[in-house]
Chains A and B, each alone.
Chain A
């Protein structure tokens, strides 16, 4: 199993998230991490979506990427697994004051 990370710029239409997640579900992928946010303050109707999942068959996965790219509201999608990207994690700590 290899981890793959794809990012997609999507038109922030209602329902686009469930549409895309439906595609992952249909192809039986379990999503390990998903982050969606408005990425550019000047482009409020565009969201950036980053997905990490485990992939057995690279060929099948690239077909799925094509299916995602085909969606009308997806501006473009990139498989960034082997690219140089900055990964950030957010650690939330809840501190109790006694």
Chain B
């Protein structure tokens, strides 16, 4: 974020600014350099002021594209993603992205236009009660009623989005406010007596965990996205190494701990690896740092970590004890908690037997897939992407099979490389998120792994690659179907493939070419190897249609209702 400008510069022309100029000024004072949005009637005034400002604006082709791009930008840069949409349909089009950001704790500030104050509540043209609609999926939301409240509300919105547990904040601005003449530029301070996130953990809580750790024979760390949000990877590594604690990641936490490290067990959960899931099942002390015990992670709660005492460190006290009974609650920011844990050395628990057992599991039960002669294996595609990007690409995905294969086979070694829709599981997320990620890190290699289903939900944003000169690599893991739906129908609905297989597909190559992009189709390992080595790390955007085995399934798997120890498909 740029250096923040002071709010008070009541000099020349600003005395005669209008509400929209005041709004832009407020954004600048928050250090906003980039907006994602789409204009419309209710935000014309704001767009007029934007025209006069140096703030860059990315014109998505659909508001959903704008907000997912903002999420990708926020996830990679650590800055706030800022979105503008107009009233009514513009506002409702960002609802999915808001819910997605809420579930995955991403800092977003979303500005929506609203119909003019006098007609609010009359079902006016393009009116929607967006504040009412988004109340359950925002950390906080506002409707600006008086122009003099605008600077305060904008400041509060950014403060709320980024502090404590990050999340989306919506600000609804009636159209007429943008035109009001104002010279009101108060120095605003955030004063929210009901909002005081606990960052520093209680030392007594930390001590009780360390005391439990001292007596533990089978400890394991479960690290979630909270570690990434708090930028606490180094502390996590130091803590794990200090006591030789094995580490399991959630889907969203991947990259928080280096995948190649000997203490790393892998991802846990429905499609996690055997070693990680069994570690959670067998452990006697489970130290959860920044994960929220999502049902996709825990499986059947009745058999989740049955022998473990559970410690849970989270910045959000409402998460502690929500799903899993917690013996050692610690409220605090992951970084602060880990620093506190590191500052108090106790006799370590290093249990060689336990580590040896886990190591044996790792060797015995790795992720696996079978190569077919006639087909390209999707898992192999991911492995090849890893190889040709040295494991350093930013990888974005939608939800589904390709997402799970990416999580399993792209070994993430550093934080901020993995952008995926975890909590809400949003199709159409991965591609626009890649655009935001590339804007956040122009020099990085950004690979957008998408399914042929999800890609068709937001592919209109392809034009942005050309328009903004973004070298995103779009890889469609194309199995001609909604792969995960198909897999569930095959496994749990006796192969009744109800509407999960596409009878017709667009020609993705021609489609990409019509957007001015280079495109390739690969349907064998050789072709993939050849094309990837040529274009994956280049500085040009490219689309690769990877025709993979349509019957391939994601294994291992914990069936719904089963415990983590009841995984199927652990071995070929």
Contacts and interface: CB of A to CB of B under 8 A. Distances in A.
Nearest to B193: A75
B132 interface: yes
B318 A67 contact: yes
Q: Which of B132, B141, B195, B317 has the most CB of A within 10 A?
A: B195
A33 interface: no
Contact of B195 (A18, A22, A72): A72
A63 B132 CA distance: 23
B135 A19 contact: yes
A11 B132 contact: no
Contact of A70 (B132, B145, B316, B321): B316
B136 A26 contact: yes
Contacts of B318: 63, 66-67, 69-70
Nearest to B320: A66
Interface in A9-68: 10-11, 14-15, 18-19, 22-23, 26, 59, 63, 66-67
Interface residues of A, number: 21
Nearest to B135: A19
A81 interface: no
Interface residues of B, number: 19
B132 A73 contact: no
B193 to A, nearest CB: 6
A2 to B, nearest CB: 19
Contacts of A19: 135-136
B116 interface: no
B321 A63 contact: yes
Contacts of B160: 72
Given A14-B143, A66-B318, A67-B318, A72 B135 contact: no
A15 B194 contact: no
A11 B193 contact: yes
Interface of A: 10-11, 14-15, 18-19, 22-23, 26, 59, 63, 66-67, 69-76
9 contacts: A10-B194, A11-B193, A15-B131, A15-B132, A26-B136, A71-B140, A71-B194, A72-B160, A72-B192
Given A59-B321, A72-B160, A72-B192, 12 more contacts: A10-B194, A15-B131, A63-B318, A63-B322, A66-B317, A67-B318, A71-B194, A72-B140, A72-B195, A73-B140, A75-B193, A76-B194
